[in-house]
Structure 1
């Protein structure tokens, strides 16, 4: 009987203990807040009467950058006042082309954006003028600036600037992420969109289904354009968001291979990785009036004005096709490709491939402003920490988890360092 009576007091006792914990936690929070408010009031009083409170030493500021790149230029400024030119007739996409391949939906193209408007609009226009239907392009605005861009609250020099009106005039779709996502989170967001809209993958589905192949990805110029099988990515648990940036692709692709999903490559068109921008994007529409040249949005400090621009000029700029030679539009394409090839080579210079990331340094005083120096520094730190997490997760340093570490999917977070 005593034991039974004792049990009757267990639940009330637990409830009282829980209430005590909540009350104590809440009371402690109030104490912390009160301490912060009191210290601030004391600081304010000290400003009015220095005798009452000794002022702490002021902050020690970092030196200002010795070099600031020139303001970026919108490469498609004419979109602000007029619609885009017509797509070259030979690249106009066939209506409902997906039905020709027995696809039940029009496959979407996701283009993620966080910063660097000139490069974004160049990428979008490149796909449109190459024949990708604008209605199937989805720009994912991942800026973390909430509704500032749709409301036109950010300026061109702000790294997170995106012109919604210009993209709408091009006919593409815009989807906003609710908050700023890192790279791995953004890839999982794509999976979420595909699940929500019932897109099983991004193309080539019909042939793969009939072949019975366990295909995970199709690379076109590696990951500059990638076809994704959503089911494969879900099977291995999606992207690891604790590895936010570089080397997270190694983590994902190795896990796909561990579960017998294939990674394959296909050739399609010409896809170029650049860090510079055509001076006038009307050139991609084959507009004769457009200057066939490029501009570095973050030119090197010691470059003479205009030198980087002149380096990109194509030969025989503006010269019509010679009699008996190639059709004019083919010759123009070759000259355009020659300029793009120079842009690719320019990116391979000794300054690194991501110089464009520091080109826009304005926006101070605008909504959700964040220092461009802080963005880059935080990005570098997160990248470094992500690499360390990858090494701890697999006990291995490089991408060769299978052939170099003989690891399996089940080995995550179970393996000691193989370099100790």
Structure 2
């Protein structure tokens, strides 16, 4: 836009001037050079029929078996969900097929999308998509948070549910795990499924709870593969004031677990099954039900860029699935992923479990070897125009900033930067917000 104006000099001469005024316009960022492919349904049989197959007979839980452990009510398994439906579905199905009663699993929808998922208003490519119909078909419960909560806030929300439902104890799990029972046996913990006395993941979890109650008056938590599956005594959390919500993500576990230890609550490790930290899903979750004709492979919802040559770096000579493809290709290609010993019967139920175990190991290394651990959270980039839409990359940036802020709060709160508050800094609970920073850079 051109603007003209007149100005007179001291001699009375008028001059006309003009200048060009540019309207303000935003400068846009370059679009991402690589977008992940659209995610696919990883349990098409259930999506089509809404009738899950029967779980392996040896993992079917006895009705009300919790009463045999002197429990007034069944301890629930809480699984928080914010993003990536395929991973959440895998987690839930793996617990069910490992023997956890479906009606004792509570998916906590923490998406901030209010009733959009319950009304079926979001689509599969939306990061916040959650299929209520499929979860109900599986027989699990759904609880919704009132807004999008941070990790620490979600943990306190779990605690609040114990008051609502009168739960004396509860388990909680990460939503990016693959859970398996010890079907091949595990030392003196359980024989394999073919021998008398076999115990599923759920049975061993209940035994862990009973042992904690019987042997330890101040038990706080029991960790199965660190906190990927955790048994919680709510009295311990309440005693130390719950989770510090000013430390929303990373380091909040260090803060909470240190305060529990300072208050002399025990935080012990336990074993009930195989809980694998993953960023990928089995290509077809029907494999967990040991159905005939279902190949065992895995799919990455956010695969590395073609130039990354990730698999050239990740191959390992000792990994039978080192050359595994991570795309959903033709069935004959997926079948190539699993090459059982020709001397074994690949229709044998135990051999099918071993195939899943080997695949889960490859999935673990795929997540933890070269790629950043949480790239799976960016596997869905759709949802534009849908209710409560939020840009996927923007959400990731915002959470990362909140994480960095939480690290700084942790440092100022304790005067120390890493998790070793007790053995590394000699701190006690009374020292919170009262000590100067020790300058130690920490191990992170």
- 1:328 corresponds to which of 328, 348, 361: 348
1:25 paired residue number: none
**Residue-by-residue CA offset, 1:243-283 (whole Å, 9 max, x unaligned):** 00001000000000110111100111111111111110000
CA–CA distance in 1 between the matches of 2:375 and 2:65?
A: 38
2:436 is aligned, of 389, 400, 416, to 416
Cα distance, 1:223 vs structure 2: 0.6
Q: Tell me how far apart the structure 2 counterparts of residues 312 and 142 of structure 1 sit (CA, whole Å).
A: 36
- Residue 301 in 1 paired to residue 305 in 2? yes
Instruction: Please give the alpha-carbon distance, in whole angstroms, between the structure 1 residues aligned to 2:216 and 2:256.
Output: 22
Q: Which runs of 5+ in 2 are unaligned?
A: 1-17, 171-205, 312-323, 328-332
Paired residue secondary structure (1:194)? helix
Cα deviation per residue 1:7-54 (whole Å; 9 max; x = unaligned)?
Answer: xxxxxxxxxxxxxxxxxxxxxxxxxxxxxxxxxxxxxxxxxxxx9x96
- Residues 73-128 of structure 1: per-residue CA shift (max 9 Å, x gap): 11012222211111011111111110111111011000000000000000000000
User: Which of the residues 1, 19, 37 maps onto 1:70?
Assistant: 37
Look at both structures and tell me which one has the larger radius of gyration over its CA atoms.
Answer: 1
Distance 1:320 1:293 in 2: 21
Which of residues 151, 154, 157 is equivalent to 2:125? 157
Deviation at 1:211, TM superposition (A): 2.7
Deviation at 1:410, TM superposition (A): 1.2
Find the counterpart in structure 2 of residue 123 from structure 1: 91
Aligned equivalent of 2:283, options 262, 279, 283? 279
1:353-372 deviation digits (Å, cap 9, x = unpaired): 11111110000000000001
Following TM superposition, by how much is the alpha carbon of 1:56 offset from its aligned partner in structure 2, in angstroms?
3.8
In the other structure, the counterpart of 1:88 is 56
Contact 1:312 1:339 (8 Å CA) reproduced = no
- Tell me which of 359, 384, 399 is aligned to 2:379: 359
TM-score normalised by structure 1 residue count: 0.83
| TM, length-normalised to structure 2 | 0.78
**Partner in structure 2 of residue 316 of structure 1:** 339
1:246 equivalent in alignment to 2:241: no
Q: Distance in 2 between matches of 1:312 and 1:328?
A: 16
Residue-by-residue CA offset, 1:153-203 (whole Å, 9 max, x unaligned): 001000000000000000000000011100000000000001221112125
* Secondary structure class of the residue paired with 2:277: coil
CA–CA distance in 1 between the matches of 2:342 and 2:161?
Answer: 46
Give the 3-state SS of the residue equivalent to 2:430 in structure 1: helix
CA RMSD of aligned residues (A): 2.3
CA distance in 1, matches of 2:276, 2:334: 18
Distance 1:295 1:318, change over 3 A: farther
Shift in Å, 1:331? 1.2
Cα displacement (A) at 1:403? 1.3
Contact 2:36 2:303 in 1 (8 A): yes
Does the CA-based 8 Å contact 1:294-1:339 persist in structure 2? Answer: yes
2:274 match: secondary structure: coil
Q: Structure 1 pair 70/225, CA: closer, same or farther in 2 (3 Å)?
A: same
Residue 80 of structure 2 aligns to a residue whose secondary structure is strand
Q: How much does 1:339 deviate?
A: 1.1
Q: Is contact 1:79–1:166 with CA below 8 Å preserved after alignment? A: yes
Shift of 1:301: 1.2
Distance in 2 separating the partners of 1:56 and 1:133: 62
Matches within 5 A, 1:146-185: 146-185=114-153
**Aligned counterpart in structure 1 of residue 392 of structure 2, from 365, 372, 392:** 372
CA–CA distance in 2 between the matches of 1:391 and 1:189? 25
CA contact (8 A) 1:288 1:318 kept: no
**Higher alpha-carbon deviation: 336-345 or 146-155:** 336-345
Matched with 2:107 is 139
What is the CA distance between 1:311 and its match in structure 2? Answer: 8.7
Residues 110 and 144 in structure 2, CA contact (< 8 A), matched pair in contact too: yes
Contact 2:222/2:232, CA 8 A, preserved across alignment: yes
2:108 alignment partner, SS class? strand
Match of 1:57 in 2: 24
CA-CA distance at 1:307 after TM superposition: 3.9
- Structure whose residues are more often helix by fraction: 1
* Alignment-derived partner of residue 401 in structure 2: 381
Deviation, 1:289, is 2.4
Q: Does 1:220 align with 2:187?
A: no
The number of equivalent residue pairs is: 366
